[in-house]
């Protein structure tokens, strides 16, 4: 297992004041919940993020994280690969964000009791939130379209006699 360029729990204040920036690849073994949520993770998680203090004085983390993963399609039961990616902009200064009325534009993250921030858990959460509840191929994917009749309702044939407007039209014609 390779060593991380940072520890799993980091000092948010220190990194924000230093304007620390990372562009790294993290082995999937550091993300056990992500590994359990898919069939397999295909390679390392790519993460780009920076800590900084924004113009309003909020301690902020901003960046993106992505990984290629394999899932089971819930329609055709075949494996498929998808890139899961997430962009984030978060702060740990909840009260200040609320007072500035920008708390809805930022995600609020919590610090641990000792003032540290679980960075790996946060990055894993960002990826987990992007995985659909029901994993499936894209609608127009030919790999899954051969099973279209098995999982769709099909078209309903309308008999004109069942249509009340058709009955009214016939009555009007007779008159």
pLDDT at residue 150 in the model: 52
pLDDT at residue 154 in the model: 57
Q: How many domains would you assign to the chain? A: 1
In a domain, 16, yes or no: yes
In a domain, 148, yes or no: no
In a domain, 133, yes or no: yes
In a domain, 50, yes or no: yes
Structural domain of residue 105, as residue ranges? 9-140
Q: Which of 22-26, 69-73, 132-136, 146-150 has the lowest mean pLDDT?
A: 146-150
pLDDT at residue 2 in the model: 44
Answer with the residue of higher pLDDT: 108 or 175: 108
In a domain, 164, yes or no: no
pLDDT at residue 45 in the model: 94
In a domain, 85, yes or no: yes
pLDDT at residue 134 in the model: 83
Q: Please give the mean pLDDT across all residues of the chain.
A: 84
**Mean pLDDT within 32-54:** 93
- Please give the structure tokens belonging to residue 70: 């394999």
Contact 82, 73 (CB under 8 A): no
Nearest 5°: phi and psi at 83? -85, 125
In a domain, 154, yes or no: no
Q: Provide the pLDDT confidence category of residue 96 given band limits of 50, 70 and 90.
A: confident
pLDDT at residue 109 in the model: 87
Q: Provide the pLDDT confidence category of residue 142 given band limits of 50, 70 and 90.
A: confident
Q: How confident is the model over 47-67, as pLDDT tens digits?
A: 999 999 989 888 999 999 999
Q: Provide the pLDDT confidence category of residue 104 given band limits of 50, 70 and 90.
A: confident
């Amino acid at each position: 297992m390779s060593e991380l360029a940072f520890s799993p729990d980091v000092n948010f204040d220190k990194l924000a004041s230093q304007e620390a920036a990372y562009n790294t690849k993290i082995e999937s073994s550091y993300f056990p919940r992500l590994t359990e949520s898919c069939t397999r993770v295909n390679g390392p998680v790519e993460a780009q993020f920076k800590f900084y203090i924004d113009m309003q004085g909020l301690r902020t983390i901003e960046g993106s994280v992505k990984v290629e993963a394999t899932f089971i399609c819930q329609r055709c039961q075949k494996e498929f690969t998808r890139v899961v990616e997430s962009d984030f902009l978060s702060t740990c200064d909840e009260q200040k964000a609320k007072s500035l009325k920008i708390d809805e534009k930022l995600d609020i993250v919590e610090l641990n009791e000792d003032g540290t921030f679980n960075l790996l858990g946060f990055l894993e959460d960002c990826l987990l939130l992007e995985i659909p509840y029901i994993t499936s191929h894209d609608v127009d994917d030919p790999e899954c379209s051969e099973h279209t009749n098995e999982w769709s309702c099909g078209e309903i044939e309308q008999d004109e006699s069942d249509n009340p407007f058709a009955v009214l039209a016939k009555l009007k014609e007779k008159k």
